[in-house]
A and B are shown apart, each in its own frame.
Chain A
């Protein structure tokens, strides 16, 4: 993968490789990261682990800017990983950006 020395942005694929209202997984040393694409073509990245019992969020149904966890249907905010009340918990969030159809992820150190 491309790593420009000045930044930690890593190219992980293109927008069209992710289905609209869907997600794909990027395998990293932190574990799997789910990259979501919403109906308005925004992208979000969360650790692929539900704060409830670790369900793979990448497999859930995406709606609005939320994903419904496939295991017990918690609703997770894509922008910050927070579980919707009354549930409590937070999935780790990663920085992600688009540049001309390319998607870049910052997985930190």
Chain B
């Protein structure tokens, strides 16, 4: 089949990222041809500032060199500007007369710096700051001249000024507004920024309107004048007063533009054969000027160009970080408070630290930080995910490290960390290795860092820290992976939610059907997506979808926990933590007979037999004659109980019986992650119900139910859910809660993560406030687990024998 022709105009960051994404998912669909007006291959425009500052070289900021295009079979035309699009005949025309036909056209023309319409704007020595050419011009000017004036005290202007200052020029920043970066900072933060830049040697003229640029005798710029009559010397003038989407080409060919090429959520312009991404675009009335949202656009655009048709770009919230070494500054969202918002502020003028968080309805809507920006990524994440922060409000300003994170206590200040300090305790990765990988490999996202360094790829407790390191290394380019758009894994671009939805709407029943339908990029997935898909299929279509043991982690395949030496552990169920002399005797006999090296009481009120040989497992289970405790599974683990009213002098409810009943009812329930319950007989709460997925506490008049607690990597206290009267209600409410979790959470979300994302109110609506919905949910849960066999009993009868026996034994 003849391939379609994809032509791209504009060889910048957004466009090339789109091509990269496209090649990954549809390598054979298009012949690709790229036109770029600049003479360079693809480079990292945001790192022009470090180049200007002398911290990096042009070579170091190349993202894709000319060889890359060759390897990918892409026809590349550098130094060739496209001047016309003939939409009727579907072809583009270049300045020097070349014609190129297309089936699909991708516009990625970026934006143009605004040039002030004042006399002298075209003089030699007056430039803007956008590309390598401009950067070289500034570096050259700095070698010969003394006085630089930067017009514009925004992000770009300040980075330009800083660079020129470092190259030895005397730099004055002229700004029209009352304070610097007024679109990102409030006055307090801006004043702090100004004084720290003054310490570096920069001068500022605020509230100044430039009216004229004057030439000297040699025809080159010599001075610059303001509306108040003042004139100052200038051998170089850099205009950094904003950018305007580069829409000329599109507009001239009749494509609808309105401060940018107007695109839909699928990144299509009004001509469906013509797509557009990047700074040249106007999406829902917004034109973005930072790479993080542009990369999100690229992903969506590639998906549609690949004709997969899934995924929409719905706009982005952006954050800003200034890339001036030694000045820490962060800004995101609505940083000015008004009548509807409140602000929390920490201001240590002497220490040079200012932090402000703006809240609306208990959610973060904006934040500004100077001096200590280590928690910027964390606030930004909560802002994007609209997380309710009422509970942690008191600690918010002290940062994430104050929330009891056992992963990296008290050392969450990425910027202050020495290179040799360990960041990821699981994989032994220190800060220096991460920074090096980010710089050398041009990494932008958490996933990329995970892939290249392994940091944050295991227990995840250092994720925040790794994100901070990313943010402080690459600046505003860091795209805190918007959690809601996170793809399931590298094998697909689809999110967990999209995948679940397709499984339901298309009634898919097998992993291969899902992979075919959703165009997985790998032939049979990986160790991340297959277990997730297997779970989604089984939880969506119980008794219909077929389990795939090969897509289960070994523990769930062998129904025992693998240990470091390759042996296994066996944890039988002891409902509610209650045992009998008979059970204990059988356990003792099994330990003797199979010479099991360790017998341990677990943290979950039952007994663990550790060091069992795999081949012995079915025999051990047969001799124990106890049901599986699922200590190895993403399933119901334990229901911890206290002695309760049967014995305890304080007990007001029979917590032991309640716990046993819960455990018997839900014992074979698989879930997105492990599930732990507890029941206490009175508010003294000896069963620790406050840190369980579902915690039940007996009170005089009935039971209180708490949900979404977690005692693990990051301890989270469970939240009050509702109060009920009878034991049956406890089962029904708890069961319905767990069923929403089973049906809607992402694989490997504990209840706490899922509730944090969807909000407790939502879950209450489904379970507490709507009786019909609750009963339906509970019914679906019971249906899903009915007839579920005990996996150990089945295997003692010979099921999956091959799993436990060697293929053969050679001597």
Contact = CB atoms under 8 A, between A and B. Distances in A.
A28 B526 contact: no
B549 to A, nearest CB: 7
Interface residues of B, number: 32
Interface of B: 452-454, 457-458, 522-527, 530-531, 549-554, 557-558, 562, 564-566, 802, 806-811
A12 B530 contact: no
B809 A26 contact: yes
B810 A12 contact: yes
Nearest to A22: B550
Interface string A65-109: 010101111010000000000110000000000000000000100
A86 B454 contact: yes
Nearest to B526: A63
A27 B810 contact: yes
A68 B357 CA distance: 43
Contact of A70 (B452, B523, B554): B554
Contacts of A53: 564
A5 interface: no
A51 interface: no
A26 B810 CA distance: 7
Contact of A87 (B454, B530, B565, B802): B454
A27 B553 CA distance: 23
| Closest CB pairs A-B (n = 5) | A68-B527, A24-B807, A61-B527, A59-B554, A21-B550
Nearest to A13: B807
Interface string A31-68: 01001000110000000000001111001111110101
A63 B511 CA distance: 13
Contacts of A66: 526
A19 to B, nearest CB: 6
Contacts of B811: 29
Given A22-B550, A71-B562, A86-B452, A12 B525 contact: no
A27 B808 CA distance: 6
Given A18-B807, A20-B550, A26-B806, A59 B558 contact: yes
A1 interface: yes
B810 A63 contact: no
A29 B810 contact: yes
Given A12-B807, A20-B550, A107-B810, A39 B526 contact: no
B549 A59 contact: no
A104 to B, nearest CB: 11
Contacts of B809: 26-27
Nearest to A49: B566
Contacts of A25: 806-807
A61 B807 contact: no
B807 A59 contact: no
A21 to B, nearest CB: 4
A48 B5 CA distance: 48
B525 to A, nearest CB: 6
11 contacts: A18-B802, A19-B549, A24-B806, A24-B807, A27-B806, A59-B557, A59-B558, A59-B562, A63-B526, A64-B522, A71-B564
A35 B807 contact: yes
B550 A19 contact: yes
A54 B458 CA distance: 18
Given A39-B523, A72-B458, A13 B808 contact: yes
Contacts of A56: 562, 566
A34 to B, nearest CB: 9
Nearest to B568: A59
Contact of B527 (A18, A35, A63): A63
B550 A61 contact: yes
Contact of A60 (B527, B558, B565, B806): B527
A70 B562 contact: yes
Nearest to A32: B806
A64 B523 contact: yes
Contacts of B527: 60-61, 63, 68, 73, 75
A61 B566 contact: no
A84 to B, nearest CB: 10
A11 to B, nearest CB: 8
Contacts of A35: 807
Contacts of B457: 73
B512 to A, nearest CB: 9
B806 A63 contact: no
Contacts of A10: 810
Given A17-B802, A61-B553, A71-B564, A39 B810 contact: no
